[in-house]
Structure 1
Amino acid sequence: MKKILITGGLGFIGSHTVVELQNAGFDVVIIDDLSNSSVEVLDNIGKITGEKPEYYQIDLRIKEEVKDFFNKVNVDGIIHFAAFKAVGESVQKPLEYYENNIGALVYILQEMRDRNIDHFIFSSSCTVYGQADELPITEKAPIKPAESPYGNTKQIGEEIIRDTCKANDLNAIALRYFNPIGAHGSLEIGELPLGVPLNLVPYITETAVGIRKELMVFGDDYDTPDGTPIRDYVHVVDLAKAHVAALKRLIHKENKQNFEYFNIGTGKGNSVIEIIKAFEKTNNLKLNYRVADRREGDVTAAYADTTFANKELKWNTEKSLEEALKSAYEWQKKQTINVE
């Protein structure tokens, strides 16, 4: 049984990926500093899979803590999620984003090199494309100057991994996510941001249950049919399964190059207003929302061409937008009941 380290494994995407890895027969160990997650997630993963993963609370910005972990624990591969992830916040706090997102990556790769650990999967982002010239976006799209420090950390991260793969015997895959939403069908894990949500769907669900008085739509003057930005919203369980597919590709030596990258999305774009309307229809309710100024760093439209991932990873999305929006709302309601 291969032992896989998941950094940020108690976060939204990380926790769902842990579940799918355990379901696929992998042994999982988690590192998470709890800066944007909760230790209760560990028990909830155990409720779903019947096995609570090994867990270490470590700040990956501290090189000695990273080294100490690898001195104690042997792993066969790593999926690296741990990162600050808010576009808008990164504009306000660029140095914190560079320190956390780049420093931690370098320290992990150094340990992999020194210990001959192969198999690395990087949690990347469609933000590496900036505002793409053509839609849908293929992996051949040029990497534009980043629209935000967050996007830049993903671009730089991929460059660091590519250089490391060239210089050392490392095989790596970067998965460029579009917009993950939804919750696990068990409603044991889902997206639970600390503080004001910075992503659309948790902002919607918190408004729907009354935590937020109103939903802010950031800009309605974009060059899109209804004036609001367009994104590709993919169910987090489908996204998690893409990591299992990528890991198996590396383990079975099916990768064509030592550094590969894939778009992970649905291939369909929806505007902010379309998501609001779909959420209202799916959950039979009305949302209180108003238009506010644009956010710095937001692009007009981004949705994926997933042909390459479908073919090479033998991965396809299975869950609908409606399923994702329904599960997100049910998850949010469950959290609200638990708080009360």
Structure 2
Amino acid sequence: MKRILVTGGAGFIGSHTVVELLNSNYEVVIADDLSNSSMEVLNGIEHITGQYPIFEKIDLKCKNSVSELFNKYTNIESVIHFAAHKAVGESVQNPLKYYENNLSPLVYILQELHSLQRPIHFIFSSSCTVYGDTSISPITEDAEVKSAASPYGNTKQIGEEILKDTCKSNNFLNVISLRYFNPIGAHPSNNIGELPQGKPQNLVPFITQTAAGLHNSLTVHGDDYPTPDGTCIRDYIDVVDLAKAHVLALKRLINGENKENYEVFNLGTGKGSSVKEVIQSFEKMSAMSLTYKVGPRRYGDVVTAFANTSKAEKILGWKSKTSLDKSILKAWNWEKKIRNIKNK
């Protein structure tokens, strides 16, 4: 079995990707500090796959801990690097936290991989935020990379630059950066889903938590944008669809099908939905009315961002399959389960 290191593998996207890897007969080692996840996630993975993944609780910001990890697991062939903070708003308020957490582990891991001096496959969890406040959608991989609108987006830009530069100097390293748009949903088994610690920074978990009674109301950050209904437009991609793309990208590298040792793919649905449209989808799928209010714009938010996914479709053979409504319903079912809500 091929051994894959998955950093941040107990997180939202990471846990769903671990499920797909285990179901594809890979051996997985999860490295996670549980700062935004829980050990219960591992039980959920086991319920789905019948396998309890190898797990190491580790602070990847500690260089010695990263070295100890690679000394313990000497036969790692591939790395999928999810471990990062991901909230745009929080990154604006606390940029140094994001620069330390999102960049130091990447450098330390790459240093360990460089010392191995053997072929390594590396999948990087990137983001559509690398494009900055682009005025053109759908966004292709060839779109101009503008100044990042937030420190979070900047860490993803810098992360990609670190990887590109490393690939130029290390012929053993083959990298695919996957630029996600907005992951939502939960596993259809209802055994794993999104578990944000504290107040969620992303729209869908805030919607479901509000409906579950954890918040009095949802705040829509601005309704005066130049969009049809005045609210920001994003590309909401189901997390299971997203996870499957990681397996296809990994197979591309393992099979030596990559044309260059650094490649980039957008992962989205190719369709934009506004904040109000997401709220309406939730209300339709849950048969509930959601309490929300309009607040001021949030610094760091771009107006419109949705993907052109033709490259991933053509080269990886991947395409999103889950509708916004179905993803919203899965997210709500997950919320009801973890809050033990039976009557909504």
Q: Does the pair score TM above 0.5?
A: yes
Task: Give the superposition deviation at 1:202.
Answer: 0.1
Runs (4+) of structure 1 exceeding 6 A deviation are: none
Greater Cα offset, 224-233 or 126-135: 126-135
Which residue of the other structure, out of 272, 275, 278, is the alignment partner of 2:275? Answer: 272
Whole-angstrom CA distance in 2 between matches of 1:263 and 1:77: 21
Q: What is the rounded CA distance, in whole Å, between the counterparts of 1:161 and 1:78 in structure 2?
A: 13
Which residue matches 2:205? 202
1:140 aligns with 2:142: yes
Quote the Cα distance in structure 2 between the aligned partners of 1:266 and 1:20: 19
Mapped partners of 1:333, 1:261: distance in 2: 36
CA distance in 1 between counterparts of 2:9 and 2:156 reads 18
Counterpart residue type for residue 126 of structure 1: C
What percent of counterpart residues are identical? 62
**Structure 1 counterpart of 2:261:** 258
Q: Deviations over 1:238-270 (max 9, x none)?
A: 000000000000000111110000000000000
Q: What residue ranges of structure 2 are gaps of 5+ in the alignment?
A: none
Taking the aligned partners of 2:98 and 2:129, their CA distance within structure 1 comes to 15
State the alpha-carbon separation in 1 of the partners of residues 330 and 18 from structure 2: 19
Aligned-partner Cα distance in 1 for 2:145–2:48: 39
* Pick aligned residue for 2:121 from 94, 119, 122: 119
Match of 1:189 in 2: 192
Question: Whole-Å Cα distance in 2 between the matches of residues 207 and 176 of structure 1?
Answer: 29
Q: Which residue pairs with 1:42 in the alignment?
A: 42
Aligned to 1:98: 99
Structure 1 residue 6, shift from structure 2 partner: 0.3
Please give the residue correspondences for 1:1-340 in structure 2 after superposition, counting only pairs within 5 Å. Answer: 1-73=1-73, 74-115=75-116, 116-169=118-171, 170-337=173-340
Alignment check: 8 A CA contact 2:135 2:304 kept: no
Cα distance in 1, alignment partners of residues 141 and 133 from structure 2: 14
Q: Is the contact made by 2:59 and 2:65 (CA closer than 8 Å) also made in structure 1?
A: yes
Distance (whole Å) between structure 1 residues aligned to residue 323 and residue 76 of structure 2: 35
Size of the alignment, in residue pairs? 339
Judge conservation of contact 2:226–2:303 (CA < 8 Å) in 1: yes
What TM-score comes out, normalization by structure 1 length? 0.98
Query: For the residues of structure 1 that align with 2:143 and 2:244, how far apart are their CA atoms?
Result: 24
Q: How far 1:133 moved relative to its partner? A: 2.9
Q: CA RMSD in A?
A: 1.0
Residue 75 of structure 1 contacts residue 117 of structure 1 at CA under 8 Å; is this kept in 2? no
- 2:3·2:26 contact (CA, 8 Å) conserved in 1? yes
Separation in 2 of the partners of 1:305 and 1:132? 13
CA contact (8 A) 1:228 1:273 kept: yes
Aligned equivalents of 1:232, 1:250: Cα separation in 2: 27
Within 1, Cα distance between the matches of 2:218 and 2:95? 26
Counterpart secondary structure, 2:223: coil
Letter paired with 1:66: V
Name the SS for the 1:128 alignment partner: helix
Contact preservation (8 Å) 1:10, 1:38:
yes
Q: Distance in 2 between matches of 1:232 and 1:295?
A: 18
Deviations 1:136-180 (A, max 9, x none): 000010110000000000000000000011100210000000000
Cα pair 1:3 1:29 within 8 Å, conserved: yes
Deviation readout 1:77-108 (Å, 9 max, x if unpaired) = 00000001110100111111111111000000
Distance in structure 2 (CA, Å) of the matches to 1:320 and 1:302: 18
Amino acid at match of 2:13: I
Q: Is the 1:221–1:228 contact (alpha carbons within 8 Å) kept by the matching residues of 2?
A: yes
1:337 match: secondary structure: coil
Q: TM-score, normalised by structure 2?
A: 0.97
Amino acid at match of 1:121: I
Q: Measure the CA separation in 1 of the matches of 2:321 and 2:279.
A: 22
Give the distance between the partners of 1:131 and 1:146, measured in 2 at CA.
7
Asked if the contact 2:231–2:274 (Cα under 8 Å) also holds between the matched residues in 1, the reply is yes
- AA aligned opposite 1:137: I
